[in-house]
Structure 1
Amino acid sequence: MEDRYLRATPLLDIGHPSLKALLRERSWMELPERERIGAIYDFVRDEMPFGYNASDDLPASAVLADGYGQCNTKTTLLMALLRAGGIGCRFHGATLDKSLQHGVMIGLLYRLAPNSIIHSWAEVCVDGRWVGLEGVILDDAYLDGIRTSICGDGGPFLGYGVGTDDLANPPIQWAGTDTRIQATGVNEDFGVFDDPDTFYRAHGVNARGIKGWLYRHVMRKAMNKRVRRIRAAGECGAASSAAAAHRAL
């Protein structure tokens, strides 16, 4: 693996004490490479719940400190943890149609959003081919909340941060192949970059100027509130199902 896919950058701050401590605590370096990728992927997908950070271009240590993330910030954290764990990876940049965010953004928030939203995912090389890890974005509890409170059926679904051909069974589990959860919302592909720093220098971030201030201080708070409400519906539904199963015993 080339050094450029393993090196640290200001955003991929792989030497930060919090990232190094996490690798030690989880004993990820003791795992074979494929299992190590899966363990890091599962941590970022499910133990870092979906939510909107203050900016796309946060360093990985700041995302970890927030304890949640969206596509771009989770990609940065995933890449940093992979590289810290000796796994080479690269960055894939794109944009999403804003319709994918409808439901999380509503009313004026949705109208103020750009028509195309900066999007990204990490890629790792497995058995000689690059594998996309876009499915890391949404945690299981959030997806369960969408199925419980918004759309109980499978099949195609676009909105609430989801873009998939099958909401009932999206390809989000690590199995050595591509994972996807927002892919059907992609409307422009910028290709691959060595790291997020290079991409953001070329294409910028989603929120700038007055809209950036509104996003940081108003919009994302409302969006995160809606995300938490959806996730709570999923957790409540899971608890009800568990209680029903217990009563049936």
Structure 2
Amino acid sequence: MDIYLKQTKLLDFNIPSIQNLIAEKGWEQLEEKEKIAAVYSFVRNEIKFGYNRSDDIPASEVLRDGYGQCNTKSILLMALLRALNIPCRIHGFYIDKKMQKGALTGITYLFAPNKIVHAWSEVYFNDEWVALEGVIIDEEYLNQVKDKLYNFNNGYIGYGISVEDKEKINICWQGKSTYIQSFSITDDLGIFNSPDDFFLKYNNTSSKLKRFLFDVLRRRINKKLDLIRGGICN
């Protein structure tokens, strides 16, 4: 299991900001299940759903930003888990961009690839790998968009959410896998020991031009998400 506990460039959990957070929260004093639950809850609700400058940024930057999406929240989640000596890995996919409608609109939606690189963290708990995709969407945002999801292909999608039944969404971690975007997965890209390895091979902003354009557009996206979260934007 040692390979699933290593620090990497992206999983920079020895940096002071992450170590100070762990100490302040007292997570090291908890039992294993409570550690996972506490870290999961923190990343889900204290790190708001939003878009960082790129997929492949270190955990410390995600923490500093205070927001993230599937890929960047997975990085922070993994860094915190490994810092607490809990094995974890990353599972990659392509996901249909249709589920981003509402969160992404206009030019930002057109700019997105038809298949978006998507990832979730998997934690080793009770002798099995458990998926933690539900960490992506914070509760405040979910409450505002749940009734806005539209029916598609026998499921409900939109606003960065893709589920089979919108009335049975339960993304609080209770020891089992949680999902919030998995209904729109189109391709399984495999399991990787670290996000560094995954994003080296798969990345939504692989070129300098894409990174620049996305860095400009994401600011508009994040403002809209904040309006939605506050119940101001339809």
| TM superposition score normalised by structure 2 | 0.93
Equivalent residue number for residue 12 of structure 1? 11
In 1, Cα distance between the equivalents of 2:196 and 2:204? 11
Ranges in structure 1 where 5+ consecutive residues have no aligned partner: 237-249
Q: 1:8 to 1:224 in 2, by over 3 A?
A: same
Q: CA deviation at 1:152?
A: 10
In 1, Cα distance between the equivalents of 2:144 and 2:130? 28
Q: 1:188 to 1:206 in 2, by over 3 A?
A: farther
Residue 166 of structure 2 aligns to a residue whose secondary structure is: coil
Equivalent residue number for residue 26 of structure 2? 27
Q: CA deviation at 1:151?
A: 4.8
Equivalent residue number for residue 225 of structure 2? 227
Instruction: For residues 106-149 of structure 1, give each alpha carbon's deviation from its aligned partner in whole angstroms, at most 9, with x where no partner exists.
Output: 2222222111111101101111110000000000000011136x
CA contact (8 A) 1:93 1:119 kept: yes
Q: 1:128 to 1:70 in 2, by over 3 A?
A: same
CA contact (8 A) 1:118 1:206 kept: no
Ranges in structure 2 where 5+ consecutive residues have no aligned partner: none
Instruction: For residues 205-235 of structure 1, give each alpha carbon's deviation from its aligned partner in whole angstroms, at most 9, with x where no partner exists.
Output: 4353323211101x2122112211110019x
Equivalent residue number for residue 85 of structure 1? 84
Q: CA deviation at 1:183?
A: 0.6
CA contact (8 A) 1:58 1:73 kept: yes
Residue 160 of structure 2 aligns to which amino acid in structure 1?
A: G
Equivalent residue number for residue 66 of structure 1? 65
Equivalent residue number for residue 130 of structure 2? 131
Residue 40 of structure 1 aligns to a residue whose secondary structure is: helix
Q: 1:152 to 1:168 in 2, by over 3 A?
A: farther
Determine whether 1:171 maps to 2:170.
yes
Equivalent residue number for residue 245 of structure 1? none
Q: CA deviation at 1:41?
A: 0.3
Equivalent residue number for residue 191 of structure 2? 192
Q: 1:195 to 1:105 in 2, by over 3 A?
A: same
Q: CA deviation at 1:168?
A: 2.9
Largest Rg, 1 or 2: 1
Determine whether 1:160 maps to 2:166.
no
In 1, Cα distance between the equivalents of 2:22 and 2:63? 12
In 2, Cα distance between the equivalents of 1:81 and 1:223? 27
Residue 233 of structure 1 aligns to a residue whose secondary structure is: coil
In 1, Cα distance between the equivalents of 2:131 and 2:149? 26
Equivalent residue number for residue 182 of structure 2? 183
Q: Which moved more, 1:70-79 or 1:198-207?
A: 198-207
Equivalent residue number for residue 119 of structure 1? 118
CA contact (8 A) 1:55 1:207 kept: no
Equivalent residue number for residue 54 of structure 1? 53
CA contact (8 A) 1:79 1:90 kept: yes
Residue 61 of structure 1 aligns to which amino acid in structure 2?
A: S
Residue 174 of structure 2 aligns to which amino acid in structure 1?
A: A
Q: CA RMSD in A?
A: 1.9
In 1, Cα distance between the equivalents of 2:205 and 2:161? 18
Q: 1:185 to 1:31 in 2, by over 3 A?
A: same
In 1, Cα distance between the equivalents of 2:48 and 2:108? 22
Q: 1:40 to 1:29 in 2, by over 3 A?
A: same
Residue 73 of structure 1 aligns to which amino acid in structure 2?
A: T
In 1, Cα distance between the equivalents of 2:189 and 2:88? 17
Structure 1 runs (4+) deviating above 6 angstroms are none
